Structure formats: C-alpha cells, structure tokens
Amino acid sequence: MKEIIQKDFEIFLGPEILEKLSEILINKEYSKIFVLMDSNTHKQCWPILSPYLVNYETIVIPAGESNKTLQYAEFIWEKFQNSFADRKAVLLNLGGGVICDLGGFCAATYKRGIDFINIPTSLLAMVDASIGGKLGLDFKSVKNSIGLFQHPKYILINPFFLKTLPQEEIRNGLAEVCKHALIDDQSLFQKLAKKQEHDWENAGALIFQSLKIKATIVKKDPHEKGLRKGLNFGHTIGHAIESYSLTKDKHPLKHGEAIAIGMICEAYLSNHLLGLSKNDLKEISQYFMQRFPKYAEKLSYNLLEDYLKNDKKNDAGQINFTLLKKIGKTKLDMHCSEELIQASLEFYSQL
C-alpha cells in the first residue's frame, strides 16, 4: 500500500484500503457513520464497501453534475439533522467528483465541521477531485461558485473500483491525469502520449504519480494564493464550456471532456502569449483530439462570455488564466483579449 502523509490529510492507495477504513473507524470511535453515494455508486460500489462497515446510515442522491446543488446539500444536512448527528459524526464519500465535492461541502459546514473521508471510485476523483480540500456547489449553472477549503481526514484509493466504470468515465479522469503531466512533468506526458489505452485497474503506479503531483502542490499552497493556480490550466475556458453545456445540451459534456477542450484552447493562448512551441501545441492538440470526441457545438466567445466573467479565479474584473511556457512549466495570472479567446475557440473548431 502506497501512502502520502501530510499535516492535514493522509492518502492511502492499494487493494487493502477497505481494511484500512475499518481500522480508522474503530480507532476514531465516531458517534455516527454516514455514507454518501449517488445512484450509480450505490449500485456498483456499495456492495464492495458495505461488508467492511457496521452501524451506518446511507444517503443516496441521483448521479450527475446537475445535482451538485444547494437543493441536495439541504437534503444531506436534513439527513444529518434527522439522525441527531453531532460533531463526532463522520461522512464517507463513496463516489466521483460530485460526491467528493458535495459531500465534503456538507460535512465541512454541518455544525461548523464534521470529519469526512473520501473513497473515490472514478479516475477523475482518484487523481483530482478527492484531493486538495476544494469543496463546492454549482450555483445558477456556474461551476463551484459556492464553496470553501477543507481537507478530508483520509483519502482511500483502490483502483479496483475502476472496473465498475464505463469507458467514458475513464476518459473523463484521463484529462486531469494529463493536466498534471502538462503542468509539472513532461516525461509523464510523453508516457501518456505513447499509449492509446491504459489498464487503469492495474495502473496504481501511474495514478500515484499523478495524484502525488497534486498533493505536493496543495501542500505548498493549500489556499491557492500562488503555486496551486497551476492546477487551473485548461479550466478557465473548460469550466465555461462545461457550464454552457450543462444549460444547453440534452447530454452535457462531462468535466474531463470540457477540460480537454479547455486545454487545447489554452495551449493555443500559451503559444501566442508565452511562446509555447508549435510542436508542443500540436502534440497537446493531437493527444486530446485522438482520445476525446469533438464537441459538435460551434463555440464562440459570445456564447461563453457570462461564464468566463463569472469564473471564481478572476481578479479585478479580468479573466484569469494559467498558461504553459512549455510542457511541464506554467505561468500564472495571465490575461488576454476577447479576440484571442475567440481565436482559440476557432482553432479548436478547425481541428
């Protein structure tokens, strides 16, 4: 079992993590144990976890980003309150990014904070959403516009859960694995680029390499005052596209699909503003175009303007970007013209 021990949280990765969970719960002597799941993880993952627990209460919400809302936060708080949960209760978040974000937010705000433990079941959650203490809700279709920072006590990762996922969910997480490589580790990006498919169930070393990049950055800058902004590469345009798709599309883009488009567009901005080489831009674009479906909607600045201007990373009314000097090296707090953003969207549409 691989471990990352930090001041505010501990990460364990390996097939023994459910035994580790039992040990933690016994030692901590929590007054109540709640397990938050969505309809998918309740069906696919709960049967794997449940034999390791006793004296618990389950909370199940519908699956999907569209449910990361105040309505479901209230639903979860009501479950806590109806069960007379005190500050010694604990919430286990069994699921992907939505469950980790929403569950963590509800735990961190209930009675000014109860412990929560993330048990990510998607690749996206294993390498990104479960780590870093960013908790939040979507509000009025704007991604993560209500939230706070609070770390889980533990993050328990078992790649076995990836067996329960459809291929599109694996692809969803691949975008964040690649983002970590693009901002910090050129050799990891080259390793990813050489393979069209990965055996993720047996890719514990690759998952660990990716999550270690994020954990190291978070440790140095827990509240995103500087270095941690590097993790936002692809997310300014990507989040705007994701929010647009959530409101307009019958089958909205998944987070990783939107962020993949965002990384292509922001690599284009990097080429124009920071001199990212044409070869790096080509490699990044080809990587995502070969692995992700192309979005059929013709994107424009006008379509995304409101979402871009509401992005939580903005500063003094300016749209804020993290861009690449080269693969593995970022520059923070970049700004650009509306015309260049439009050109980046056109670049994507012409690929």
Distance between CA atoms of residues 336 and 345, nearest Å? 13
137 alpha carbon, distance to own chain's centre: 13
Sign of the torsion formed by the C-alpha atoms of 61, 89, 50 and 17: positive
CA dihedral 96, 149, 106, 3 (to 10 degrees): 50
Residue 19: count other Cβ atoms within 10 Å of its Cβ.
12
DSSP string, 23-83: HHHHHHT-S-EEEEEEHHHHHHTHHHHGGG--SEEEEEE-SSGGG-SHHHHHHHHHHHHHT
Q: Is 219 left (phi over 0), alpha (psi -120 to 50) or beta?
A: alpha
Structure token digits, residue 242:
């994701």
Closest to 129 (Cα-Cα) out of 161, 92, 176: 176
- The residues that are catalytic are 112, 134, 176, 214, 224, 228, 232, 235, 239, 255
Half-sphere exposure of 51 (CA within 13 A, CB side): 5
Closest to 183 (Cα-Cα) out of 339, 66, 331: 331
Burial class of residue 253 in the structure, from the number of CB atoms within 10 Å of its CB (0-12 exposed, 13-18 middle, 19+ buried): buried
